[in-house]
Copies of this chain bind each other. A is one copy, B any other.
Amino acid sequence: LTIKKELPEINIKIDACFLSNPYATDLFMDRFKTDVIDTGLIREVLEFYPSQNNIISKTLSKTIDVPEDNIFIGNGATEIIQAIFHNFVERKVIINIPTFSPYYEFVREDTEVIFHQLKKEDNFCLDVESFCRRAKESGVDTAVIINPNNPDGGYIKNSDIAYICNELGDIPNLIIDESFIHFTYEDSTYDFSSSEQLVKKYDNVIIIKSMSKDFGIAGIRAGYCVMDKQKVETLLKNGYLWNVNGLTEFFFNLCSEEKFMLEYEKVRVKYIKYTNEFIKQLKAIEKIKVYPSKANFVLVELPEQIKSQTFVKDLLIDSGIYFRSCDDKKGLEGNFVRIASRDREQNDVIVREISKYFGDVDE
């Protein structure tokens, strides 16, 4: 939206920066229309105060099978990251790079950040052993894992998460950001595997979850955090009273409904399948290197002579497709862009236009 305002002359036909499942947005919009607009409930939703944090936690508790005392509702994951970093992270934090920048931008002035470089030659895959060793040697109080990671989509398997939890059981905060976990799977059932239940076993585990991506509702602002109940209590003790809005509450109510979640499951799997097709097609384009991803985006390395800014500008002007240049990503040297999977039709256009750009197709 900001970009559209700043460059009104440019028509973005496909926003391939934007990381969300458009089929889930369709599903939500349908229910929003029938349940909120057509019924006239919208007035109540916008006029009155939403429920307080702990009431919404109670609703979500059943959906994710975690006790309500372990849940903190957030106005999007960014609010939660801020809350954790300003309240619980102390002297030193270890963070893999490249990654989602608020994780080091939101640190307090007195917190030192240890940047753990993910290696390009390892396809940005996390070596859990070296990560845990470095965390322990550096004496951090907080470790951050994003699973799958942004901007590369690298996935950390269940067994590796278990290893990390065991190795880092003694540090006060082990943050696992699962904002893209719904796009992952370990076998042909396409089931995803959240680490939320680990909170019952490890009291230092903090799971941060955005709902913007998987449910396609970034404009509503909805996220949650699963953590030790002492931490939830600390946050609610002097703040976060009405930190989400009426639509967030409606959304979390929907998530507690079996029918909605069954329909969501269908669009989740459908989108994963389309995304897999999309990644396969991108990989077939010779001139670019597509890094392995289990998220709804891929990190793409451009040929040496093509700067990512130039590529982004060219595709935007020529084809109306907007990609995320990764120039500003700390720990990522080279010509990289991040390409989001959109709906099937838009994905086809993206593949065709990139191919055309590199002269791979005849016109």
Contact = CB atoms under 8 A, between A and B. Distances in A.
B49 A240 contact: no
A79 interface: yes
A8 interface: no
In the assembly, how many copies of this chain are there? 2
Nearest to A55: B2
A194 to B, nearest CB: 23
Given A29-B43, A37-B37, A50 B1 contact: yes
A195 interface: no
A240 B82 contact: yes
Contacts of A55: 2, 5
B1 A46 contact: no
Contact of A216 (B1, B25, B47, B245): B47
A105 B29 contact: no
Contacts of A220: 46, 245-246
A46 B82 contact: no
Interface string A1-23: 11001000000000100101010
Band of interface residues on A: 35 or more
Interface in A223-255: 238-249
A219 B245 contact: yes
Nearest to A249: B1
A37 B20 CA distance: 22
A37 B238 CA distance: 37
Contacts of A247: 46, 219, 245, 247
A218 interface: yes
A38 B13 CA distance: 22
Contact of A20 (B47, B50, B105, B246): B47
A177 to B, nearest CB: 15
A85 interface: yes
A117 interface: no
B51 A29 contact: no
Contact of A75 (B51, B86, B243): B243
A338 interface: no
Name which of A1, A219, A242 has the most chain B CB atoms within 10 A of its CB. Answer: A219
A88 interface: no
Contact of A47 (B37, B44, B106, B218): B218
Interface string A158-178: 000000000000000000000
Contacts of A15: 48
A46 B127 CA distance: 38
Contacts of A46: 25, 28-29, 32, 217, 219-220, 247
A45 interface: yes
Interface of A: 1-2, 5, 15, 18, 20, 22, 25, 28-29, 32, 37, 42-52, 55, 75-76, 78-79, 82, 85-86, 102, 105-108, 212, 216-221, 238-249
17 contacts: A1-B50, A18-B48, A32-B42, A44-B219, A46-B247, A50-B221, A75-B75, A75-B245, A76-B243, A79-B243, A82-B238, A107-B238, A108-B238, A218-B242, A219-B246, A245-B245, A245-B247
Given A1-B49, A219-B245, 20 more contacts: A1-B50, A1-B249, A2-B51, A2-B55, A20-B47, A25-B46, A47-B216, A47-B217, A47-B219, A48-B219, A49-B218, A76-B242, A78-B241, A82-B240, A86-B86, A102-B241, A107-B238, A218-B242, A245-B247, A247-B247
